[in-house]
Amino acid sequence: MEKCKVIFYPEGKSVQIEKGKTILAAAISANIYINSSCGGEGVCGRCKVILKKGEVISQPSGRLTLEQRKQGYYLACQALVQSDLEVLIPPESRLDLDKLTQEEIDLRLKGLYAKAEEVDSVKSLEEGVFAHSPLATKLYLELPAPNHVDRISDLERLYRQIRKMNDIPVMQTGLVNIRRLGRLLRDSDWKVTVTLGKRNGTTEIVLIEPGDTSDKNFGFCFDIGTTTISTQLVDLNTKRILGTRATYNKQASYGSDIITRIICARQQDCLEKLHHAVIDSMNEMIQALIRDNNIDLNDVNCILCAGNTTMVHLLLRVDPTYIRREPYVPTANFVPTIRAAEAGIKINPRGLLFCLPGVSSYVGGDISAGVLSCGMYKEEEICMLIDIGTNGEIVLGNREFLISAAASAGPAFEGSGLSCGARAARGAIQKVTIDPKDFEVKYDVIRGGKAHGICGSGYIDIISCMLKTSLITKEGKFHQIKSNRLRQGDFGPEFIIAFRDEAETGSDIFITEGDIENIKRAKAAIFAAAAMLVKQMSLEFSDIKKVFIAGGFGTYIDVDNAVNIGLLPDIKRDRFIFVGNSSLAGARQVLLSHEAMKKIEEIARRITYLELSIEPSYMDEYMAAMFFPHTDSSRFVNVDI
């Protein structure tokens, strides 16, 4: 097979690849990540690259304007390498793999618009509720040496000593540890540290080390999202959070939503690639955090993961195919504890990996964790948790009942599939206002500087403002107004949010009717799912006393605007509580408390799952929500648009 050399700029990285493969494939082999929302189908147009030198074969694409084609733009997923190439990746096509800054992580965790005390109060609500009993505990033991009177075996001697300190009737130990035990105890003068791990109902001696290392006991909790992976390094002895990191899920190169990724996993080697993409991201984050905190990898004894069901399958390299086939049954919701090494996670080789239990194919452990961390499972009053992400998951209930549903909102709120969409990261436009008189636009850019796109909360603000200023109708079509911001584009009218001189990309940043339609669909899916749950329980939205809004995106949302467009129900605004990344918060609690683990298992079993795709009235609810704010305006009386 003939090989070609492809050089990517601005990095200057080069890679050898078989002739006929796509530029996208070459980029992935070169460890350069390019946006690819559709998973290489050629429909999303987000993988644009500029060909500087060389020859490719490419299908014509409506995603490239004539001007762009003249400038040498191609879609990386459609361009087949025919010769040695030099390719420039423009900034807008780049999946910025740099770690998110601490500032951004704080924003994600706290919520930008939320008042700090609200978040704190929610967090403190559950913080400290569960007794401190981490999933991995270290005990320093000074064993009495055996003699003619005290002749019990080494292993029983160890157990006896442990039981003097803890009430653990059943313990198990791996053969590896037993083989080493005799020598180890004698060499260390009977002074050892044992690491005890909770494993599927019993306690395992995970590790035996010479001397006293009991002060070095660390763990990681992870939230594995479809778009973002977040983690915290926790000192299991002191409960202190030593550091937080978030990064994009490298799986994004294989498609931006879980369905595309499940389909992708069916292709040859793709399950392997998806698996590696996620563990690579996780290992990189672990490495960075232990380096920053001067911690030895061997002192990291457990990992706890909260993720949607598909993400957990891919993490464990379990085929997720059946998740998307009727009747939508996953391989496992309750995953037994395994060694982290079995999944390819690099911590102490004997360290354990826990996955939080999920409810169904589309309501995963991240949601169980959310329910745990917001505390709704023990509330007397009726609460709702809305986790807005690529999938919108909703849980309704209190201490008596919990019912959940998942709506495939699509990635619109994460900025994907929109003409100028961006993830909520550096350079994204948010907090937008439009002047009702002259339609002038004001906005913020995340972390300042020039804008390169609009993030989900930016779109919510824009659409809400456009409704209030009568720029668009309630179905999301532009009125004819006089403004230099409204122009006729290739796909109908479009409204310019930032002119090219304000944009990092050098082109106008705008919103089209198609974008509004996409957002409308996403918000309709989430609202309809929430409405279905409420109806299922014969309740009204007004019966809900607390609505917890979670998700990487959920932290940026402006409540009034979100109600204006009909994403959130029209109830008293002070009932909305931002919980930021509730999945990560729940995961941390479980990491630090075996009691919380028992509780979350109970929660996952308690949550009933309502499969919306087989509910005949869901489609009707969805169609009714396909309007701003809603076809049934009596449900949105406190909205003035």
Partner 1 sequence: MGIELIYQKWSGKINEVTIGSESKAVKIGGQNSLPFLFKEGGLPNRPRIAFEIWDVPPQDWPDELRRPYGGVLEDVIKWAERCQEEYKAEIICVRLLGAHPDLGNKPSAEEARLVELLLQKVAVPLIILGCGDDQKDNELMPVCCQAARGKRCLVGSAVQDNYRTLTAAVLADGHNIIAESPIDINIAKQLNILISDMGLAQDRIVINPTVGALGYGLEYAYSIMERARLAALSGDKMLAMPFICFVGQESWRAKEAKALETEFPQWGPQRERGIIWEAATAVAFLQSGADILVMRHPESVNCVRDYINVNYQDVDS
Stretch that binds partner 1, among 152-160, 275-283, 287-295, 473-481 (CB under 8 A): 473-481
Min separation Cβ 573 and partner 1, Å: 25
CB-nearer residue toward partner 1: 32 or 471: 471
CB 446 within 8 A of CB 552: no
Stretch that binds partner 1, among 17-25, 37-45, 180-188, 621-629 (CB under 8 A): 621-629
Residue 620 in contact with partner 1, rule: CB under 8 A: yes
| Count of alpha carbons within 13 angstroms of residue 193, beta-carbon side | 15
Min separation Cβ 66 and partner 1, Å: 25
Q: Which of 474, 545, 598, 606 binds partner 1 (CB under 8 A)?
A: 474
Q: How many other C-beta atoms lie within 10 A of the C-beta of residue 563? A: 21
Spatial strand order of the sheet with 191-199 comes to 136-142, 191-199, 202-210, 171-173
CB-nearer residue toward partner 1: 316 or 626: 626
Residue 267 in contact with partner 1, rule: CB under 8 A: no
CB 313 within 8 A of CB 362: no
Residue 627 in contact with partner 1, rule: CB under 8 A: yes
CB-nearer residue toward partner 1: 267 or 473: 473
Residue 540 in contact with partner 1, rule: CB under 8 A: no
Min separation Cβ 265 and partner 1, Å: 36
- Give the Cα separation of 496 and 264 in Å (integer): 36
Tokens representing 578 are 């931002």
CB-nearer residue toward partner 1: 528 or 563: 528
Residue 631 in contact with partner 1, rule: CB under 8 A: yes
CB-nearer residue toward partner 1: 114 or 465: 465
Min separation Cβ 561 and partner 1, Å: 20
Q: Is 117 exposed, middle or buried (0-12, 13-18, 19+ CB in 10 A)?
A: exposed
Residue 481 in contact with partner 1, rule: CB under 8 A: no
Residue 624 in contact with partner 1, rule: CB under 8 A: yes
- Give the Cα separation of 547 and 525 in Å (integer): 17
CB-nearer residue toward partner 1: 436 or 449: 436
Min separation Cβ 303 and partner 1, Å: 47
Min separation Cβ 20 and partner 1, Å: 43
Helices (H), 30-72: 66-70
Stretch that binds partner 1, among 410-418, 472-480, 484-492, 562-570 (CB under 8 A): 472-480
Stretch that binds partner 1, among 153-161, 400-408, 600-608, 616-624 (CB under 8 A): 616-624
Query: Residue 252: helix, strand or coil by DSSP?
Result: helix
Q: What are phi and psi of 400, to 5 degrees?
A: -95, -35
CB-nearer residue toward partner 1: 400 or 620: 620
Tokens representing 533 are 């749950």
Peptide bond before 629: cis, by omega within 30 degrees of 0?
Answer: yes
- Give the Cα separation of 634 and 494 in Å (integer): 31
Count of residues engaged in binding partner 1, rule: CB under 8 A:
12
CB-nearer residue toward partner 1: 414 or 513: 513
Residue 140 in contact with partner 1, rule: CB under 8 A: no
Q: What are phi and psi of 437, to 5 degrees?
A: -85, -55
CB 39 within 8 A of CB 277: no
Min separation Cβ 391 and partner 1, Å: 24
Stretch that binds partner 1, among 148-156, 292-300, 532-540, 622-630 (CB under 8 A): 622-630
Stretch that binds partner 1, among 112-120, 446-454, 533-541, 626-634 (CB under 8 A): 626-634
Residue 468 in contact with partner 1, rule: CB under 8 A: no
Q: Among residues 96, 119, 239, which one has the least CA distance to residue 581?
A: 119
Burial 133-145 (b: 16+ CB within 10 A, else e): ebbbbbeebebee
CB-nearer residue toward partner 1: 176 or 623: 623
CB-nearer residue toward partner 1: 79 or 531: 531
Q: Among residues 320, 325, 401, 333, which one has the least CA distance to residue 367?
A: 333
Min separation Cβ 86 and partner 1, Å: 46
- Give the Cα separation of 28 and 47 in Å (integer): 12
CB-nearer residue toward partner 1: 257 or 513: 513
Residue 599: what residue type?
A: K
Tokens representing 437 are 């008189």
Peptide bond before 144: cis, by omega within 30 degrees of 0?
Answer: no
Q: Among residues 261, 242, 270, 347, which one has the least CA distance to residue 308?
A: 261
Neighbouring residues of 198: CB distance < 8 A, sequence distance ≥ 6: 135, 136, 204, 337, 594, 597
| Count of alpha carbons within 13 angstroms of residue 319, beta-carbon side | 7
Residue 623 in contact with partner 1, rule: CB under 8 A: yes
Q: What is the DSSP-derived secondary structure letter of residue 421?
A: B
Residue 626 in contact with partner 1, rule: CB under 8 A: yes
Stretch that binds partner 1, among 204-212, 405-413, 587-595, 625-633 (CB under 8 A): 625-633
Residue 113 in contact with partner 1, rule: CB under 8 A: no
CB-nearer residue toward partner 1: 450 or 474: 474
Q: Is 283 exposed, middle or buried (0-12, 13-18, 19+ CB in 10 A)?
A: middle
Q: Which of 473, 483, 613, 638 binds partner 1 (CB under 8 A)?
A: 473
Binding stretches for partner 1 (CB under 8 A): 473-475, 620, 623-624, 626-627, 631-634
